[in-house]
Amino acid sequence: MTTIPTTPTPDGGSIPVFGLGTWRMGERGSEAEREIATLRKGLELGITLIDTAEMYGSGGSERIVAQAIAGRRDEVYLVSKVLPSNASYEGTIRACEESLRRLATDRLDLYLLHWRGSHPLQETVRAFEKLKADGRIVRWGVSNFDVEDMEDLDRISTDCATNQVLYNLSRRGIEHDLLAWCRQRSMPVMAYSPIAQGALAGNRTVEAIAQAHDATAAQIALAWVMERPGVVAIPKTSHPERVEENLKSLDIRLTDSDRAALDRAFPPPRGKTSLEMI
């Protein structure tokens, strides 16, 4: 079993730097057995962070997670998200209770606003704080928030634990300002789609570096993301064998030459760009 490093959260807690994403899980009953097996394989390997959302499979992903962690809830750092359309005060509380029911648990370790919507942030934050006071969630955070959104939130509360955003070698826009903004506050950035849904596998530079490290393109992409302080990677796979492969990215140490080559192939941003989402 691998001991996965952690990174601090602003309240003095911590979060593992590597976890399992579950987007697109729970959408097809024929895939359920393999999806459950994949998550259980992760637990066996020491991967405790599992990220899901009420949106994924219209609750189906949460049900898959519930089956995978049955009898092992206390080992898991469980993350879910509320849809912005549900993020009124009462709606957030109701959505959280529904997620808890689907996940067959009494609490979430982290509860996120999936993206900013029309409901006032004050209402959502007030609901988060109520859920926290009631022991239904341990921490709360946001997803897909750019710097201006984070500054709006910061004027309401400084208790935000994380911001989950799209980040990988081919999507580096957050390096211009958002990554530093979060880092200054010891706020982890959770990188979703860190291997660009496999799209990096065909890149010559990534493949060459992978060959030099006797690794896969996905492992290089994950190693690149996780070597950044305060960044958490949550790759998604539905193949049990890929979980172990992805986990081995923690052992890869990129060289200065590797980094320079990757910067040439995937240049860092030269200015502000709109926050990308998928």
Domain boundaries, the chain: 14-203+229-240
Neighbours of 180 (CB within 10 A): 12
Rounded-to-integer distance, Cα 225 and Cα 259, Å: 11
Rounded-to-integer distance, Cα 236 and Cα 238, Å: 7
Tell me the percentage of the chain whose pLDDT exceeds 70.
100
pLDDT band at 70 (very low <50, low <70, confident <90, very high): very high
pLDDT band at 113 (very low <50, low <70, confident <90, very high): very high
CB 170 within 8 A of CB 217: no
| Domain 14-203+229-240: homologous superfamily in CATH | NADP-dependent oxidoreductase domain (3.20.20.100)
| pLDDT given for residue 107 in this prediction | 98
* pTM of the model as a whole: 0.96
Ramachandran angles phi, psi of 120, nearest 5° = -60, 140
Report CA-CA distances (Å) from 175 to 9, 36, 217, 275.
Answer: 19, 35, 22, 11
| pLDDT given for residue 25 in this prediction | 95
CB 8 within 8 A of CB 186: yes
Q: Is the pLDDT at 201 greater than 90, yes or no?
A: no
Q: How many CA atoms lie within 13 A of 101 on its CB side?
A: 7
| pLDDT given for residue 2 in this prediction | 76
Q: Is the pLDDT at 44 greater than 80, yes or no?
A: yes
CB 151 within 8 A of CB 160: no
The stretch 268-274 carries a mean pLDDT of: 94
Strand order across the 110-113 sheet: 19-21, 49-51, 77-82, 110-113, 140-143, 163-166, 189-192, 231-233
pLDDT band at 272 (very low <50, low <70, confident <90, very high): very high
Report CA-CA distances (Å) from 268 to 95, 173, 177.
Answer: 38, 7, 12
Cβ neighbourhood burial of 208 (10 Å; 0-12, 13-18, 19+): middle
Rounded-to-integer distance, Cα 33 and Cα 267, Å: 40
56 is catalytic: yes
Average pLDDT, rounded, for the chain: 96
Neighbours of 113 (CB within 10 A): 29
Rounded-to-integer distance, Cα 260 and Cα 244, Å: 28
| pLDDT given for residue 83 in this prediction | 98
